[in-house]
């Protein structure tokens, strides 16, 4: 799906930014000149995201970009994507103007420096929002367009930072935390969680705590206790029922855990009318 040709003047002159064209997840074949834009000689920027592994030629030097690579090109290099007889897919977005320059400075995104992401969803969700703003509304909202564009530039800056790899949560741990967020009232024993993540229990416990500051079972327990705190301050249910609703079958053990976490017993918490303390 593409929106080529002119996005110019679509969001009004007061936006101080103009757009040349864009496309999302568009299939191409063969060798294509990407930079400079053949339809625009003036200075501009081109955000190019290749969804598939793609050969490139930059100023005559051959290279290959892995799938899910984003680059913000200016108009200075001569860049070709693809190769004869090969199919490839890209999303692109081209812009220029004072607001574009300001977004670039503010985000810290590098120019002419590709960055590869673990999967396309990180960038695609922002690109889809940007694309829909232009294709679903007769007059796109300038503030939203700039916000979506800024999000893409910030992702590029983060991916090219020196500590980018260390800052990224490994996919198995991210999936497991999401699973706990949705199923913390179910079996959250360490063996069950380790089996879910296909990781050794000892490694899972250590790695999860290194990333999130608390082990996976303790993380689930905290979510249950937050539920209990909500029920205590918003209902008049007996403590035993609150314990059961928050996934604790043993009211005595629940009270001990609650006091250890919040510093007061469930009854004292309710009587004080206090909200839950920060974990």
CATH number for 148: 2.60.120.10
Give the model's pLDDT for residue 154: 95
Give the model's pLDDT for residue 103: 92
Separation between Cα atoms, residue 56 and residue 62, nearest integer Å? 6
Number of domains in the chain: 2
75 and 124 in a single domain? The answer is: yes
Residue 250, C-beta contacts closer than 8 angstroms, at least 6 positions apart = 243
Is the pLDDT at 58 greater than 60? The verdict is: yes
142 and 241 in a single domain? The answer is: no
Give the model's pLDDT for residue 118: 83
Tens of pLDDT, residue by residue over 11-26, are 544 557 788 888 899 9
Q: Which long-range contacts (CB under 8 A, 24 or more apart) does 30-33 make?
A: 30/82, 30/83, 30/84, 30/85, 30/86, 31/57, 31/80, 31/81, 31/82, 31/83, 31/84, 32/80, 32/81, 32/82, 33/78, 33/79, 33/80
For residues 168-195, average pLDDT: 89
For the record, the structure tokens of 185 come out as 């009232």
Mean pLDDT over the full length of the chain: 86
Q: Name the H helices within 199-238.
A: 201-212, 216-234
Q: Write the CATH number for 233.
A: 1.10.10.60
**Where among 121, 143, 166 does a domain terminate?**
166
Is the pLDDT at 124 greater than 80? The verdict is: yes
- The pTM of the full predicted model, rounded to 2 decimals, is 0.69
Give the model's pLDDT for residue 182: 93
Comparing CA positions, the residue from 146, 47, 154 lying closest to residue 107 is 154
Is the pLDDT at 67 greater than 50? The verdict is: yes
Residues in the chain: 279
152 and 176 in a single domain? The answer is: no
Give the model's pLDDT for residue 260: 92
260 and 215 in a single domain? The answer is: yes
276 and 142 in a single domain? The answer is: no
Separation between Cα atoms, residue 271 and residue 279, nearest integer Å? 20
Bond into 36 cis (ω within 30): yes
Sorting pLDDT into bands at 50, 70 and 90, what band is 208?
A: very high
Q: Which domain holds residue 26?
A: 2-166
Q: Name the H helices within the chain.
A: 98-107, 121-135, 142-159, 164-167, 171-183, 190-197, 201-212, 216-234, 239-245, 251-262, 266-272
Top-confidence residue, 171 or 228: 228
Are 141 and 129 in contact by the 8 Å Cβ rule? The answer is no
36 and 173 in a single domain? The answer is: no
Sorting pLDDT into bands at 50, 70 and 90, what band is 1?
A: very low
For the record, the structure tokens of 240 come out as 């035993």
71 and 205 in a single domain? The answer is: no
Top-confidence residue, 15 or 263: 263
For residues 233-256, average pLDDT: 90
With vertex at residue 135, the alpha carbon angle to CA 124 and CA 156, rounded to the nearest 5 degrees, is: 30
Neighbours of 209 (CB within 10 A): 14
For residues 182-204, average pLDDT: 90
For residues 80-90, average pLDDT: 93
173 and 159 in a single domain? The answer is: no
Give the model's pLDDT for residue 3: 40
Give the model's pLDDT for residue 41: 67
Separation between Cα atoms, residue 129 and residue 133, nearest integer Å? 6
Separation between Cα atoms, residue 66 and residue 202, nearest integer Å? 34
Is the pLDDT at 199 greater than 60? The verdict is: yes
Judging by beta carbons within 10 Å of its beta carbon (0-12, 13-18, 19+), is residue 142 exposed, middle or buried? middle
161 and 191 in a single domain? The answer is: no
Is the pLDDT at 256 greater than 70? The verdict is: yes
């Amino acid at each position: 799906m593409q929106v080529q040709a002119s996005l110019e003047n679509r969001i009004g002159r007061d936006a101080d930014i103009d757009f040349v064209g864009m496309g999302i997840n568009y299939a191409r074949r063969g060798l294509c000149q990407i930079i400079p834009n053949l339809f625009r000689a003036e200075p501009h920027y081109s955000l190019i995201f290749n969804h598939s592994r793609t050969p490139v030629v930059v100023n005559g030097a051959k290279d290959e970009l892995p799938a899910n690579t984003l680059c913000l090109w200016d108009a200075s290099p001569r860049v070709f994507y693809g190769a004869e007889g090969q199919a490839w897919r890209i999303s692109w977005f081209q812009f220029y103007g004072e607001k574009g320059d300001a977004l670039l400075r503010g985000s810290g995104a590098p120019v002419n420096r590709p960055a590869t992401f673990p999967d396309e969803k990180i960038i695609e969700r922002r690109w889809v929002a940007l694309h829909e703003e232009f294709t679903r509304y007769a007059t796109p909202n300038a503030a939203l367009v700039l916000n979506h564009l800024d999000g893409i530039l910030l992702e590029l800056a983060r991916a090219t930072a020196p500590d980018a790899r260390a800052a990224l949560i490994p996919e198995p741990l991210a999936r497991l935390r999401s699973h706990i967020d949705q199923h913390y009232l179910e079996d959250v024993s360490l063996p069950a969680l380790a089996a879910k993540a296909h990781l050794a229990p000892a490694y899972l416990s250590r790695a999860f705590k290194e990333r999130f500051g608390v082990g996976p079972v303790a993380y689930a327990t905290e979510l249950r206790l937050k539920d209990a705190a909500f029920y205590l301050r918003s209902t008049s249910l007996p403590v035993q029922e609150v314990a059961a609703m928050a996934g604790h079958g043993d009211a005595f053990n629940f009270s001990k855990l609650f006091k250890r976490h919040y510093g007061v017993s469930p009854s004292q918490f309710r009587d004080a009318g206090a909200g839950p303390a920060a974990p």
